[in-house]
Amino acid sequence: MLTEILHLLQLPDMFPFIVPCAGVGGGIEAREHVELLPLMKDTLVFLAAIGTLFGLGLALAAKKFSVTIDPKVEQVKEFLAHAHCGACGYAGCEQYAEAVVRNPEVPPNLCVPAGTRGAEAIALLTGKKAAVRERFFARVMCQGGWSMSEKRCSYEGVQDCRAVILTGGDKACRYGCLGYGTCARVCPFGAIAMTEDHLPFVDPDKCTGCRKCEAACPTRVIEVLPESQQVLVSCHSKDKGSETRKYCRVGCIACGICAKVCPFDAPVIQQNLSRIDQKKCTVCGLCVRKCPTGAIRDLLLPRPKAFILPHCTGCQICGNVCPVDAPSGEKNSLHTIDQSRCIGCGICAVLCPVHAIDGTFNAPQVFASGEAREKAA
Amino acid sequence: MEFSKLFELVVSASLINNFVFTRFLGLCIFFGVSRRMETAIGMSVTFTAVMMISAALSWIIFRHVMIPLEITFLKIIIFIGIVAGFVQASDTIMRKISPGLYHKLGIYLALISTNCIILAVPLINAGERYSFLESIAFALGSGLGFALALIIMASIRERLELADVPAPFRGTPIAFIVTGLIALAFSGFAGLIKI
């Protein structure tokens, strides 16, 4: 039979064909009489032959083309977030897992959604050091919800920012949040919810800083910023101050008061917009109090207030540096801080030479750095 | 004459007898991968390639082994075996030879092996008693038709994502309605060629 098959497979015989069967439905011929025994024999032999052929072929292929998969890649993959968000810079979670195992230069902390725990686990698996990476959050740089801002027209089309922007936006301000919730829909972690005033609210517990919302937002009003940046000019309007005031009640009108009041010269006015320099800002929150339109947002609110510890030497430095004159006391005696005046800016805590001021948001860091300095000395 | 016959086959398989819109085959994959244009294109490329190769393989086995042995009634089970075996082998080989291509198309290969369009092509080839070249042309036409269906659907669904669809119709229901409308439009191709 084998020789018969081989003979039949010869190329010259392939064209043209003599169709040896008649009947409807795919060459099943209608026959009056079927010889059961030879038919069964042929069927069984054919099925067994083709089964063996495929089985051997597949086994050979599997053997010859086997790919060794590092078990570490699988283990690393288990610690990744599996959101395929691309925050690590690779196409997907699998590609990053492979890169971090194979390439010694790829750091283990690139998976932002997996967080520090994931980074530590991956570092342990790959024998690398997990440097602590500051968390990043999506920040909406607009506070002009629909009740706070003016509309240019009434929009009734597809309820999605990406569609609204095709009409030029229905808000009078071209720079602000449109409020149709595209960011909330693209967020793979469900961290963004729309408030009643049509502004996105980012849940810091769920946000991983993957930048999907930043990419989807047509007005680019979402910025992904480090956790430490807690005082933000939440406005992107580059319109003139008078126009911004007309369009929105919480827009930055570039009055420059924040730049004047800041002891560290962090805010800079450029193109009718104040922007806080991240490197200079100490998150003291003075500008937040002075901003006439409330465009600067303080994410640390409510701020804990300062109090003085008993080892105060009475040097009066705190009284000199305080922007609201909250500390009082005679020289060389224990000072007190007026709790009703203190705004929790933390400037005095940093500048106190004996670290006698506690309670502010930055006090733990001040104490930690003081201890480190003492140890070094 | 030969060429025009092949061309007719390609046109009839892709437009007039489009597998998705007139024969209603392969609907699960059609709805599964038409959400995004990128996956739709990857799927249709893989589909066309697998269809043509499996049509050629099954044609050789059908014509040269099964017809002489008079066991053509086994064609369904044999064609399933041929397609599954071929897909599995190409999956293994592709993983080794070009991992990049495997990452792009590998996920679709697993879905393909038991798909009804892939099985329908060799079965129709056998039933219509097409020659070798005609079989390949028919497979190519079917693949192009499926690609056309997927790409039309993916581009519509990408827009549907933004549309204000009534809540009960969101997702698959509206996709079925859209498919019905496209199928209606495709019925206009009937009578384009008479074979």
Residue range A140-152, pLDDT digits in tens: 999 988 999 999 8
What is the structure's pLDDT at A376? 77
Confidence class for position B152, pLDDT limits 50, 70, 90: very high
Q: Is residue B104's pLDDT more than 80?
A: no
DSSP helix/strand/coil, A336: strand
pTM summary value: 0.58
CA distance to A108, A312, A356, B76, B119, per residue, from B73 (Å): 58, 99, 94, 8, 15
Q: CB-based contact (8 Å) between A21 and chain B? A: yes
The percentage of residues in chain A with a pLDDT greater than 90, rounded to a whole number, is 20
Alpha-carbon gap, residue A253 to A239, rounded angstroms: 8
A175-184, A353-362, B91-100, B174-183: segment of lowest average pLDDT: B91-100
Chain A closest-CA separation from residue B16 CA (Å) = 21
What is the structure's pLDDT at B194? 63
Please judge whether A9 and B60 are an interchain contact, meaning their C-beta atoms are less than 8 angstroms apart. yes
**Is B91 domain-assigned?**
yes
Q: Which residues of A touch B62 (CB under 8 A)?
A: 27
Chain B closest-CA separation from residue A187 CA (Å) = 15
B164 vs A5, A46, A158: nearest CB: A158
**Is B112 domain-assigned?**
yes
Confidence class for position A252, pLDDT limits 50, 70, 90: very high
Chain B closest-CA separation from residue A245 CA (Å) = 33
B73 vs A28, A50, A91: nearest CB: A28
Contact B178, B169 (CB under 8 A): no
**Is B194 domain-assigned?**
no
Confidence class for position A112, pLDDT limits 50, 70, 90: confident
Please judge whether B127 and A26 are an interchain contact, meaning their C-beta atoms are less than 8 angstroms apart. yes
Q: Residue B27 is which amino acid?
A: L
What is the structure's pLDDT at A23? 36
Alpha-carbon gap, residue B105 to A70, rounded angstroms: 22
CA distance to A42, A263, A361, A362, A366, per residue, from A303 (Å): 88, 19, 7, 10, 16
Q: Is residue A52's pLDDT more than 70?
A: yes
Structure token digits, residue B136: 């390949």
Q: Is residue A82's pLDDT more than 70?
A: yes
Please judge whether A42 and B70 are an interchain contact, meaning their C-beta atoms are less than 8 angstroms apart. yes
Q: CB-based contact (8 Å) between A18 and chain B? A: no
Among A65, A70, A96, A180, most B C-beta atoms within 10 A, so best to mutate, is A65
A18-32, A46-60, A94-108: segment of lowest average pLDDT: A18-32
Q: Which residues of A touch B80 (CB under 8 A)?
A: none
Angle at A132 between CA A129 and CA A137, to 5 degrees: 140
- Residue-wise pLDDT tens digits, B54-77: 999 999 999 888 888 888 888 888
Confidence class for position A177, pLDDT limits 50, 70, 90: very high
Pick the CATH number of A135-227 from 3.10.350.10, 3.30.70.260, 3.30.70.20, 2.170.120.12: 3.30.70.20
Residue A80's Cβ-side half-sphere holds a number of Cα atoms within 13 Å equal to 26
Identical fold for domains A230-301 and A307-370, yes or no, is: yes
CA distance to A137, A203, B69, B137, per residue, from A193 (Å): 14, 8, 68, 53
Confidence class for position A1, pLDDT limits 50, 70, 90: low
Q: Residue B107 is which amino acid?
A: I
Structure token digits, residue A255: 């009055």
Mean pLDDT (chain A) is 83
Alpha-carbon gap, residue A144 to A146, rounded angstroms: 6
The total domain count for chain B is 1
Q: Is residue B91's pLDDT more than 90?
A: no
Range of the domain at B11: 2-189
Please judge whether A9 and B129 are an interchain contact, meaning their C-beta atoms are less than 8 angstroms apart. no
What distance lies between CA B80 and its chain's CA centroid?
Answer: 15
Give mean pLDDT, residues B18-32: 86
Pick the CATH number of A307-370 from 3.30.70.20, 3.40.50.300, 1.10.630.10, 3.40.50.10600: 3.30.70.20
Chain A closest-CA separation from residue B130 CA (Å) = 10
What is the structure's pLDDT at B145? 93
Among B59, B105, B162, B170, most A C-beta atoms within 10 A, so best to mutate, is B162
**Is B35 domain-assigned?**
yes
Class at the top of the CATH hierarchy for domain A230-301: alpha beta
DSSP A205-272: TT-----HHHHH-TT--EEEEETT--EEE-----S-HHHHHHHBTT------HHHHH-TT--EEEETT
Please judge whether B81 and A51 are an interchain contact, meaning their C-beta atoms are less than 8 angstroms apart. yes
Range among A122-126, A252-256, A337-341, B94-98 rated most confident: A252-256
What is the structure's pLDDT at A15? 42
Please judge whether B92 and A58 are an interchain contact, meaning their C-beta atoms are less than 8 angstroms apart. yes
Q: Prior bond to A302 cis, omega within 30?
A: yes
Give mean pLDDT, residues A193-212: 89
H or E segment to which residue A310 belongs:
none
Among B67, B90, B121, most A C-beta atoms within 10 A, so best to mutate, is B67
DSSP helix/strand/coil, A98: helix
What beta strand segments (E) does chain A contain? 136-140, 192-194, 200-202, 222-226, 231-233, 267-270, 273-276, 296-298, 307-308, 327-328, 336-337, 357-358
**Is B195 domain-assigned?**
no
Query: Domain map of chain A by residue range?
Result: 71-126, 135-227, 230-301, 307-370
Alpha-carbon gap, residue A144 to A184, rounded angstroms: 17
Among A1, A2, A45, A58, most B C-beta atoms within 10 A, so best to mutate, is A58
**Is B20 domain-assigned?**
yes
Please judge whether A46 and B61 are an interchain contact, meaning their C-beta atoms are less than 8 angstroms apart. no
CA distance to A304, A332, A362, A370, per residue, from A336 (Å): 16, 12, 19, 22
- Residue-wise pLDDT tens digits, A280-294: 888 888 898 889 998
**Is B15 domain-assigned?**
yes
DSSP annotation of B129 reads T
- Determine phi and psi for A165, rounding to 5 degrees: -65, -20
